[in-house]
A and B are shown apart, each in its own frame.
Chain A
């Protein structure tokens, strides 16, 4: 136990407090200037906005994927099931260059979208694609066990009472999945906000346009502006803590609901 606490303090707690201390070396005015200047605000907007959209996309398609995996039989099912976890296992840099190539104007998918005037790679849309890749397994893997445990008798009861299939899904199944769905959404969002490797290759990284917040930290580090880098890190860490809190609250709520 003592070992655990010692290691946790050494590796997590002390270095994390270094960020807060570094950021607090500035005056309030400097802090606000570093944390909320125009360029930083645009970066947060992109990081949080794209993460939110990506989590929403995963919320829809992840739900359908989990449903297909739990309820349907189809060829190559175990292969599909295995590949869902690819974003956990594939290094983010590899995902980044693969997505950038695939969605570039001359890539397989990018070439299909180009005639429609849709540019994905090197635009904020590319950021959304990368964050969707990163977040998918969180939604699917959180929903799956809950879907599998759904009691069949409730569905049968609804059907025998004359509910249409759509009614049963909207009023019986989806409400039962809501807590797990929200947890998956929050996990995907939390992961996407801080994501770096898979995004920078596809984002284009134009200041004020397609620059994500973690990249801004790197840029300030390269300019030896340690306080500035720490300031943005503090903002992002606050959001991380908030997300952890939200996820715990959702899970506690789900447990109360289940009890």
Chain B
């Protein structure tokens, strides 16, 4: 005796077929690549992988990546709050233009993002001669790496906060101010609690991208080992030198970081389910 199928349910054969196709697709595009990273990293055992992560060049790369993220993320938090505040709470001409500018880094090629800073700060660039005279290095140095990373991670926090702030409107803040709260107090007691989950979410994605950015950083870094080499760039160098265990060991570390990011992201979504389409 077979149970009758609900009219809005797919037939069982269709379900099985779709699930098999989806499983095969996800396995070949997402899951197997991730398994490959750990498998290749451990090909010669755990000690060899740990040794590759422990070399001086690798440790310098890890340090630089952490420094870059430590500058980029707070900067983008402050900017993201300012930008979303301006967009959500004020009316002004050119607002759509401002939003487009905030979104722009999402659709600009990372290589172009690196190139623009080379053209401005590079030796042949606008400020190149002046910078050389004053012995300031931006391109092929850490400031360039930070700048390029800030550019590509620019929209993450602002994009999360703009819809949240727009939803809330200005009523609560106006009430707080009219009852005598100072601007800062209003922000901490009224605005901040409303945006904290979105802010955390934005910070998480911003941090993941900041630590993993490759294209933009690759253009401005100059690949100087121990000096301007971030973890993703170090992966490239080792890989091109056919040191696959080393490359995949550092890659596994980055992959582990990505998994942690995804777990935290899932937890955040349980804390506050997303409802907006088209988020990045």
Contact = CB atoms under 8 A, between A and B. Distances in A.
A226 B10 CA distance: 57
Q: Report whether over half of chain B's contact residues are helix, strand or loop; otherwise say mixed.
A: helix
Contacts of A16: 104, 116
A236 B109 CA distance: 8
B214 A82 contact: no
Given A101-B40, A146-B277, A88 B208 contact: yes
B32 A102 contact: yes
Contacts of B142: none
Given A65-B25, A217-B115, A236-B109, A94 B278 contact: no
Interface residues of B, number: 94
Interface string A168-206: 100000000000100110010011011111000100000
Contacts of A132: 29
A24 interface: no
B36 A101 contact: yes
Interface in A201-259: 201, 213-215, 217-218, 221, 224, 226, 229-230, 233, 236-237, 240, 243-244, 251
Contacts of A90: 34, 212, 254-255, 258
Interface string A66-83: 011001101000101111
B213 interface: yes
Contacts of B57: none
Contacts of A233: 109, 111-112, 115-116
Contacts of A30: none
A55 interface: no
Interface stretch (B117-125, B165-173, B178-186, B188-196): B117-125
B279 interface: yes
Nearest to A152: B8
B132 interface: no
Interface residues of A, number: 93
Contacts of B119: 15, 18-19, 22, 226, 230
Contacts of B261: 89
A11 B116 CA distance: 10
B47 interface: no
Interface centre among A67, A102, A142 (most CB of B within 10 A): A102
Interface of B: 7-8, 10-11, 14-15, 18-19, 21-22, 25-26, 28-34, 36-37, 40, 79, 82-83, 85-86, 90, 92, 98, 100-112, 115-120, 122, 124-126, 147, 150-151, 154, 205, 208-209, 211-215, 218-219, 231-233, 235-236, 239, 244, 247-248, 251, 254-255, 257-259, 261-263, 265-266, 274-280
The 8 closest A-B CB pairs, nearest first, are A194-B109, A91-B212, A159-B7, A197-B214, A196-B215, A15-B116, A214-B111, A98-B33
Given A15-B119, A67-B18, A237-B112, 8 more contacts: A61-B25, A93-B236, A98-B37, A133-B33, A141-B279, A183-B278, A196-B215, A224-B124
